[in-house]
Amino acid sequence: MDTAATRPASHAVTYPRFVWRAAKLATDGPWFFYAWMTLLTALCLVGLHSWATQVRDGMQVTGMSDHVSWGLYIANFTFMVGLAAGGVMMVIPAYLYHDDEMHEVVILGELLAIASIVMCLGFVMVDLGRPDRFWHLIPGVGRFNWPISMLTWDVIVLNGYLLLNLHITGYLLYKRFRGERPDKVWYLPFVYLSIAWAISIHTVTAFLYCGLGGRPFWNTALLAPRFLASAFVSGPAFIIIAMLIVRRVGGISISDAPIRTLTGIMRVTILISLLMVVSEVFTEFYTGGSHIASAQYLYFGLHGHNALVPWVWTSIGMMVVSAGLLMTPRVYNNKGMLIAACVLAFVGVWIEKGMGLIIPAFVPSTLHELIEYAPSLTEWKVTVGVWALGLLVLTVALRVAIPILTDQETVALTHGRRV
Amino acid sequence: MSAPKKMSLPVLGEVDRRTAFKAAGATLGAAAFAKAMAPVVEWASHETSASEFLQKHFKELRPDELATVMSRLEDEARDEYGADVTIADYRPQKGVKFGYALNLSICIGCRKCAEACHKENNHDRVSGNSYIRVLEMDKGSLDLESGNAAYDHPVPQPDKFYMPVQCQQCERPPCVNVCPVEATWKEDDGVVVVDYNWCIGCRYCEAACPYHARRFNWTKPEVPAQEVNPNQGYLSNRIRPQGVVEKCTYCLHRTRTGRLPACLEACPTGARVFGNLLDPNSEISYVLRTKRVYVLKEELGTRPQFFYFFDT
C-alpha cells in the first residue's frame, strides 16, 4: 500500500466513514455469519433474562451459600483473565522477536484480549449482589479502596488492558483503512506496555486470592506463576483454533508459521503447568496436616464429599493427553491432532482454573464445615450468556478487522465499491 | 451479482429484502431484550429508589442527610414489613474499646446465644440466620477440624466441649482491607461495621474472613411484623437490603448505650464476659489478666478482640 502520492482526506471525514463502515460490516455477511450471530444473540438474551431474575429474586437462585460464597461466575472470571493474558503470546514473538509472519496476524490475539476482558467484566458484574451500585467502584466517583484492596488493582489493570488493546487495534485498523503506514510513536509504546500489562492482569488476579491468610488452599506463592503458566496454555490453544476457523471461513490467508510458533509455546507452557500441579500436590500431601483439607477434598474427596473429584481428574487427564499430543512431532503437520490437543488443553485449564481453583478454597469452610457447591441452572444460563457476549464481541471484531487487514475495505471505497 | 430483490415496507418505503430482514431482526431483538430485562425493571421500581441509588457513603453524609436517610428507611420498614421502627446512628463512646471473652469451661452448647442474635438482629426467619455458630468439639483438640456445627442432640455431651464463634472484631481485619469500596471499616471502639447502603455485594470480605463471621443476604430478609425488633441502629441491626453483606456488631445499638449484647444476656451459664478493655476495673480486663486466654487462629496475625478462656 503506498498512497503517499495522493494526500489523504482529513480525519474529520475518514474517521466517521471508518466507524460507519465498521458498523456496516458488523451487521453484514454470508448466511452462516447471520446464523452464528443470531445464535449468540439468542444465548445472550437467555443469560440476560436469568441474570435479571437473579437481580430481582436475589442470589438465592444460585448454588452459592455463606460457606461457598464464590462459584461458577468467579471461576469463569479467573479463567477469562488468563485467556486475555494469553493473547500476549502472539504479541511477544511479533514485537520482541520480530517474527514477521506472527506480526501479520498479531491483531487476532489483541482482539481476543478485548473479547476476554469484556467477559471478565461481565462475570464480575453478574457476581455482584448489588449491580446497581457498581458506580461505587469508579475511582473518583465512588470510594476506591486503593491501594490496599487487591480488587481495586484488578479494576485498574483489567480496564487498563481493555483500553490499551482497544487503542492498539483501533489505531492500526484505522491507519490501514486510510491506506497509511501506522506511526510507531502512536502504537509501539502501547504495545510494549501491553506486554507488561498482560502479565500484570494475571498476577494481580492471583494476588486477589493468594493474599488471603484465612484460605490456605490459595495462600501459596505458586499461585501467580501457576496462573500465568496455564494462561499461556489456554490463550494459545484458543488462538490456534480461532486461526484455523478464520482461515477457513474468514477470507484471510494465515500461514502455518504463526500456528507453529504458538504450538511450540504450548509445548513448553503445558509442561510447566503440569510441573506446578505436581509441585503443589507433593507439598500438600507429603506435609499433611489439616491445612491440606481443601486439596484432599479436591483430589480425593473428604469425609464422603467428593463433588469435585471427577472434575479435577478429568482436567488432569486432559492436560496430560494434550501434553502427550503436543510432544509428538507430528502435531505440527496433523491438524486433527493439533485441534484435539488444543481443545483438551483449553477445557483442562478451564476446569483447573475455574471450579478446581475457586471452590476447594471454600470447602471445607474456615470453620471446617463441609458444605458442597454445585452451580444452579441459573448460573449455567448466565455463564453461557456471558460467553456468548464475548464470542459476539470477538466475531464482530474479526468481521470488521479482516476485510480491513486484507485491504478489501479502505477509505478509497465508496458505498462498498472501489472508485 | 444479481440485482437485490426489492420489497415495500411502511416507514422505510422501498427497500431490498436483506434490509427488510435486518429491520425485522432488529425489532425482534429489541423486543426480546426488553422482555429479558423486565425482572430488573420490576425490581428497580419496587425495591430501590433514585435517592437510594444516589445515596453517599456513610462517612460522607452530613447529619441532616443521614437523618433523612434514616427516616426514609423507617418509612420503608413500615411499608414493606408493617413495623414501626426507630433507626438511630449510635456513635462510639470516648475511652471505650470493646472486648468479649467466652468461658469454654462452662459453655454447654445450647445455642441460646445464636437464637438471641437471630431475634435481636432482625435476621431472615426462613434461613434461621445468626451471626453465631456453635461448634461441638472433641475434648483433647482445639483444632477446628474436629468441630461440628450441625449437631442435633441433647447437650452437653460428656466427651465434647462447645465453642461459639462470631465476629472476632480483629485489630487487623482482613475483611476491611479487601473491600474495594470501603463499605466496611473498624470504628474507634473496635467494632467492624458495614454500610449496608454502600456495599456492592462482591463478597470478597466473606472470602477473606478466617472466622466465617460474615453473612450475605442471598434474598430479601423475611421478618413478620410482630417479630421485628424496633430498636435499630443504622450500622447494626436494621433490616438489611437484599444483596449485601452483614456481620456481628457486638450489638452496638445496645452496647454503645451501656447495655450488654443480646447473646450475653441470653446465656444461661454466664459463659460470656463483655466490657471495656480500656477500663482496668472491668470484668473483661479481669478475665484477660487472670485467666488462661487464647484467640482463634492467632498465627494469622488478625489480632482478634474476642477471647476464649478456661477456668477449670
- The distance of A170 to chain B (nearest Cα, Å) reads 26
User: Above 50 in pLDDT, residue B176?
Assistant: yes
Per-residue model confidence (pLDDT) at position A415: 46
Range of weakest confidence among A90-104, B90-104, B162-176: A90-104
Q: Phi-psi bin for A266: left (phi > 0), alpha (psi -120 to 50), beta?
A: alpha
Per-residue model confidence (pLDDT) at position B242: 97
- Spell out a b/e string for B268-294, using b for 16 or more CB atoms within 10 Å of the CB, else e: eeebbbbbbbeeeebebbebbeebeee
How many residue pairs from chains A and B have C-beta atoms closer than 8 A?
176
Per-residue model confidence (pLDDT) at position A39: 97
Mean pLDDT in consecutive groups of 10 residues from the start of chain A, 419 residues: 57 91 90 94 97 97 97 97 91 92 90 96 97 95 95 96 96 92 94 94 95 94 94 95 90 90 96 95 89 93 94 96 97 96 98 94 95 97 98 95 88 54
pTM score over 0.90: yes
User: Above 80 in pLDDT, residue B158?
Assistant: yes
Query: B306-310 and B98-103: which strand pairing?
Result: parallel
Does residue A292 belong to the interface with chain B, where contact is any CB pair within 8 Å? no
Listed by number, the residues of chain B in 206-235 with a beta carbon closer than 8 Å to a beta carbon of chain A are 206-212, 214-220
Indicate yes or no: CB of A368 within 8 angstroms of CB of B219.
no
- Is pLDDT larger for residue B188 or for residue A415? B188
Residue of B nearest to A31 (CA): B18
Listed by number, the residues of chain B in 119-148 with a beta carbon closer than 8 Å to a beta carbon of chain A are 133, 135, 143-145, 147
Residues of B in contact with A212 (CB under 8 A): 174, 178, 207-208
Does residue B30 belong to the interface with chain A, where contact is any CB pair within 8 Å? no
Kindly report the backbone phi and psi dihedral angles of residue B172, in degrees, each rounded to the nearest multiple of 5, phi listed first. -120, 80
Q: How far apart are the first and last CA of chain A?
A: 16
**Helix, strand, coil percent values for chain A (each to nearest 5):** 75, 0, 25
Of the candidates A65, A130, A144, the beta carbon closest to that of B244 is on A130
Residue of A nearest to B44 (CA): A56
Listed by number, the residues of chain A in 170-229 with a beta carbon closer than 8 Å to a beta carbon of chain B are 208-209, 212-215
Indicate yes or no: CB of A45 within 8 angstroms of CB of B209.
no
**Residues A389 and A87: beta-carbon distance below 8 Å:** no
Q: Quick count: other Cβ atoms within 10 Å of Cβ B26?
A: 11
**Residues A228 and A85: beta-carbon distance below 8 Å:** yes
In order of start, what are the domains of chain B with their CATH numbers? 1-29 (no CATH), 98-310 (3.30.70.20)
DSSP A246-284: HHHHSS----HHHHHHHHHHHHHHHHHHHHHHHHHHHHH
- The distance of A66 to chain B (nearest Cα, Å) reads 6
Residues of A in contact with B43 (CB under 8 A): 55-56
Indicate yes or no: CB of B174 within 8 angstroms of CB of A134.
no
Residue of B nearest to A139 (CA): B181
Indicate yes or no: CB of B183 within 8 angstroms of CB of A45.
no
Separation CA A38–CA A44 (nearest Å):
10
**How distant, in Å, are the alpha carbons of A245, B112, B206 from that of B270?**
72, 12, 30
Of the candidates A62, A143, A290, the beta carbon closest to that of B57 is on A143
Residue spans per domain, chain A? 13-418
B15 falls in which pLDDT band (50, 70, 90)? Answer: confident
Of the candidates B36, B201, B301, the beta carbon closest to that of A129 is on B201
CATH of domain A13-418: 1.20.1630.10
- Is pLDDT larger for residue B5 or for residue A73? A73
Interface predicted TM-score (ipTM) of this complex, two decimals: 0.93
Per-residue model confidence (pLDDT) at position B3: 60
User: Above 90 in pLDDT, residue B125?
Assistant: yes
**Residues B135 and B147: beta-carbon distance below 8 Å:** yes
Separation CA B293–CA B278 (nearest Å):
17
Residues of A in contact with B29 (CB under 8 A): 41, 45
